[in-house]
Amino acid sequence: MAASATQEADCKASEDARLFFDAAKPPSFRIGDVRAAIPAHCWRKSPLRSLSYVARDLLIVAALLAAAASSIDLAWAWAWPLYWAAQGTMFWALFVLGHDCGHGSFSDSAMLNNVVGHLLHSFILVPYHGWRISHRTHHQNHGHIERDESWHPITEKLYRQLETRTKKLRFTLPFTLLAFPVYLWYRSPGKTGSHFLPSSDLFSPKEKSDVIVSTTCWCIMISLLVALSCVFGPVPVLMLYGVPYLVFVMWLDLVTYLHHHGHNDLPWYRGEEWSYLRGGLTTVDRDYGWINNIHHDIGTHVIHHLFPQIPHYHLVEATKAARPVLGRYYREPEKSGPLPLHLFGVLLRSLRVDHFVSDVGDVVYYQTDHSLNGTDWAEDAKHK
């Protein structure tokens, strides 16, 4: 009888453990275990293959631009939204390839990475080295409340100090999806510096010359756009380049926000509770339907955060190989239709409830300011 009772208790404990999973609990596996599960060829970089994606994307951008420029009249007014959506998405694809250059996953050649990265990012008004360095900081400190660099949570004390207008802008569409240019100039709330200024505390003394080069390239692109506006007029430049740029910014903010938000079990860490592995496991994969191929599988994000050296064209295979090791720490992405329309619901729900984290505690979760937008927000928090 005693043995039977013990077995029953063990079974109940196992069932409870299966039903309840604490995502903040340190995993039983090590990062070396995840690395060992990934096939060796997934780590190999092919410059030719990487350059083929650049050529493909640039050809599409050029074709879209040529088609739109040849039809820049009111008779084709109905087609402009299609062009803006398509070209903005391609600008976003170019950003992802430049992002790979910044990580060194584009090739093993630092010179090739920097040349291609500057060409791609300068074209879409991103200071390559300035962004690359801050993004490296993000990866090295992902999931850490104080040290993370992008889309990190605001502490309650800082949140209470924000003006109501600032809170509304931060958590209301479309302003949330237009944050990237502001971030490049001013960083996030509570942080100082700029991606354009070599004197910013984002950069070490030895990185200042790199920042100057990238800011100079950015200024050259701005000068080119101004010159084109003087020659052809500001309206054609706005229609052909300006609006697609805004669509690109919206893509970037949407995707990067959802990499780190939208689940109620995403912990954030301080102090000794943080580790590189635990921080990386707070990131989220997303399915973007047929956009996955266009933006180079950037939604396959967990393995990318843990091992940014893996080229984007191996991320899906690497993730599949690592999933048995990750277990329930890997959050299976919701399957998308041809277009990832379901993610707008995830975004809106997160903006309603993910507002700030506690000022104390080494493992914390997002909390909700119920006064920000009425009772509907409180109701969303209950169902989060």
Whether residue 320 has pLDDT greater than 90 = yes
In tens, the pLDDT along 80-93 reads 999 999 999 999 99
User: Measured between alpha carbons, how far is 323 from 303 in angstroms, rounded to an integer?
Assistant: 10
Whether residue 375 has pLDDT greater than 60 = no
How large is the average pLDDT for residues 94-116? 98
Counting runs of H as helices and runs of E as strands, what totals does the chain give?
Answer: 18, 2
Q: Residue 255 falls within a domain, yes or no?
A: yes
Q: Residue 66 falls within a domain, yes or no?
A: yes
Q: What is the pLDDT of residue 14?
A: 40
* Reported confidence tier of residue 19, pLDDT bands at 50, 70, 90: low
Residue with tokens 């490296």: 136
pLDDT above 70 covers a percentage of the chain that reads 91
How large is the average pLDDT for residues 17-39? 87
Per DSSP, 39 falls in state: -
In tens, the pLDDT along 243-261 reads 999 999 999 999 999 999 9
Whether residue 56 has pLDDT greater than 50 = yes
Q: What is the pLDDT of residue 258?
A: 95
Host H or E run for residue 268:
strand 268-269
Q: Residue 58 falls within a domain, yes or no?
A: yes
Q: Three-state secondary structure along 175-204?
A: HHHHCHHHHHHHCCCCCCCCCCCCCCCCCC
Whether residue 358 has pLDDT greater than 90 = yes
Q: What is the pLDDT of residue 383?
A: 46
Amino acid at 201: D
Whether residue 4 has pLDDT greater than 70 = no
With 0-12 / 13-18 / 19 or more C-beta atoms within 10 angstroms meaning exposed / middle / buried, residue 208 is: middle
Task: Residue 226: give the domain boundaries.
Answer: 45-367
**In whole numbers, what is the pLDDT of the chain averaged over residues?**
90
Q: Residue 30 falls within a domain, yes or no?
A: no
Q: Residue 38 falls within a domain, yes or no?
A: no
* Reported confidence tier of residue 374, pLDDT bands at 50, 70, 90: low
Q: Residue 381 falls within a domain, yes or no?
A: no
Q: What is the pLDDT of residue 15?
A: 39
In tens, the pLDDT along 253-303 reads 999 999 999 988 899 999 999 999 999 999 999 999 999 999 999 999 999
Q: Residue 125 falls within a domain, yes or no?
A: yes
Q: What is the pLDDT of residue 151?
A: 86
The count of structural domains within the chain is 1
In tens, the pLDDT along 193-207 reads 999 999 998 999 999
3-class secondary-structure state, position 5:
helix
How large is the average pLDDT for residues 339-350? 94
DSSP letters, 57-95, are HHHHHHHHHHHHHTT-SGGGGGGHHHHHHHHHHHHHHHH
Q: Residue 36 falls within a domain, yes or no?
A: no
pTM exceeding the 0.85 threshold for the entire prediction:
yes
In tens, the pLDDT along 146-178 reads 999 888 899 999 999 888 888 888 898 989 899
